[in-house]
Amino acid sequence: MSGTTRNAPTKATYSWRVVDIVVAAVVSVACGVIFWLWDQGYVGVQAATAAFAPLGGIYAGGWVIAGVLGGLIIRKPGAALFCEILAAVVEALLGSQFGLAVLLSGLVQGAGAEVAFAAFRYRRWNLGVSLLAGALSGLALGVSEVIIYFPEWEFGWQAVYTVLAVISGAVIAGLLSWLAVRGLARTGALSAFAAGRAADV
């Protein structure tokens, strides 16, 4: 019997545990608060970039951090999408000036990060993958926002905004999320996760 137990197939790596759900929810709520605070700062950004509005894309990365951070910590399919959408729900509940449109944004931006992690079959979690996840989230944000919010802009402006959103996503969401996970892992706070034990953090 004991031998049977030892030889039994291990549980699928991609199945979610209770601790995964709880931590993903905590990360999402925290990021939702950050999103709401980021919303407040956007008023100043709009004023500062009034002369050339596409420069506002530089600020966009703060809105895609939930998917990248959640994906890096949980390391399972759907984590990036779950965290970005739930964070958007929290942002909306706190009274975002963008209203319920943030839910669509959360879906699209979370999908961007999810594509990056899926491209490496949820097996690579290094800095390069994190930067790619942030960049693709930024790309999703840039494309969706020029369609929804800035359709009147000429193509050149839309392209500049989208490129800046990609760069911002890579730096703010990709780089900072990777550094945050690395820092948390060193404190032992992520010991229940592969992210807290792997050599790539």
Q: How far apart are the first and last CA of the chain?
A: 38
Q: Quote the mean pLDDT of the chain.
A: 92
Name the residue ranges covered by the structural domains of the chain.
Answer: 19-46+54-196
Judged by average pLDDT, the poorest of 25-29, 96-100, 128-132 is 96-100
Residue 195 buriedness (CB in 10 A; 0-12 / 13-18 / 19+): buried
**Is there a contact between 145 and 157 (Cβ–Cβ < 8 Å)?**
no
CA distances from 157 to 137, 143, 187 (A): 19, 12, 44
Q: Give the up-direction half-sphere exposure of residue 106: CA atoms within 13 A in the CB hemisphere.
A: 27
Cβ neighbours of residue 58 closer than 8 Å, sequence gap 6 or more: 164, 167, 168
**Is there a contact between 32 and 86 (Cβ–Cβ < 8 Å)?**
yes
What's the pTM?
Answer: 0.89
> Measured between alpha carbons, how far is 2 from 8 in angstroms, rounded to an integer?
10
More confident residue, 35 or 8: 35
pLDDT at 7 over 50: no
**137-164: per-residue pLDDT in tens?**
999 999 999 999 999 999 999 999 999 9
Architecture of the CATH domain 19-46+54-196: Orthogonal Bundle (1.10)
Q: What is the pLDDT of residue 13?
A: 75
pLDDT at 1 over 60: no
CA proximity to 133, closest of 105, 164, 175: 175
**CA 171 to centroid of chain Cα atoms:** 12
